Amino acid sequence: MPKLVVVGSINMDLVVTAERFPGPGETIPGTGFARYAGGKGANQAVAAARAGAAVTFVGAVGDDPFGASLTQGLARDGIDVARIRVLPGTPTGTAVITVARAENTIVVVAGANGEIRPEDAAAVPLSPGDRVVAQLEVPLAAIRAAFEQARAAGAGTLLNAAPALEEARALLPLVDILVVNEHELGLLAGRAVDANRADEVADAAARLRATGCGTVVVTLGAAGAVAFGGGAERVEARGHRVAAVDTTGAGDCFVGALAAELARGEDLAAALRFANAAAAVSVGLPGAVPSMPTRAEVDAMLAGK
| Alpha-carbon gap, residue 305 to 301, rounded angstroms | 6
Burial class (CB in 10 A: 0-12, 13-18, 19+), 71: buried
pLDDT tens-digit map of 79-89: 999 999 999 99
Mean pLDDT over each residue of the chain, to the nearest integer: 92
**Residue 114 confidence (pLDDT):** 97
**Residue 231 confidence (pLDDT):** 60
pLDDT tens-digit map of 149-170: 999 999 999 999 999 899 999 9
Q: What are the residue ranges spanned by the domains of the chain? A: 3-22+30-302
pLDDT at 239 over 80: no
C-alpha pair distances (Å), 118 with each of 54, 121, 147: 23, 5, 10
CA angle, corner 74, sides to 69 and 77, nearest 5? 130
Question: What crossing angle do the helices spanning 268-282 and 295-302 adopt, rounded to 10°?
Answer: 100
If you classify domain 3-22+30-302 with CATH, what class do you get?
Answer: alpha beta
pLDDT tens-digit map of 224-238: 899 998 665 788 878
Residue with the bigger pLDDT between 305 and 35: it is 35
| Alpha-carbon gap, residue 104 to 287, rounded angstroms | 11
pLDDT at 1 over 80: no
pLDDT at 44 over 60: yes
| Alpha-carbon gap, residue 203 to 215, rounded angstroms | 14
Count of positions (residues) in the chain: 305
Which of 182, 191, 164, 267 has its CA nearest to residue 221?
182
pLDDT at 243 over 80: no
Per-residue pLDDT band for 257 (boundaries 50, 70, 90) equals very high
Rounded average pLDDT over 6-29: 95
pTM: 0.91
Rounded average pLDDT over 279-300: 88
Give me the catalytic one of 63, 252, 267, 299: 252
Per-residue pLDDT band for 111 (boundaries 50, 70, 90) equals very high
Percent of the chain, pLDDT > 90? 74
| Alpha-carbon gap, residue 283 to 11, rounded angstroms | 19
252 is annotated as an active-site residue: yes
pLDDT tens-digit map of 204-216: 999 999 999 999 9
**Residue 211 confidence (pLDDT):** 92
**Residue 27 confidence (pLDDT):** 97
Phi and psi of 280, rounded to 5°? -65, -40
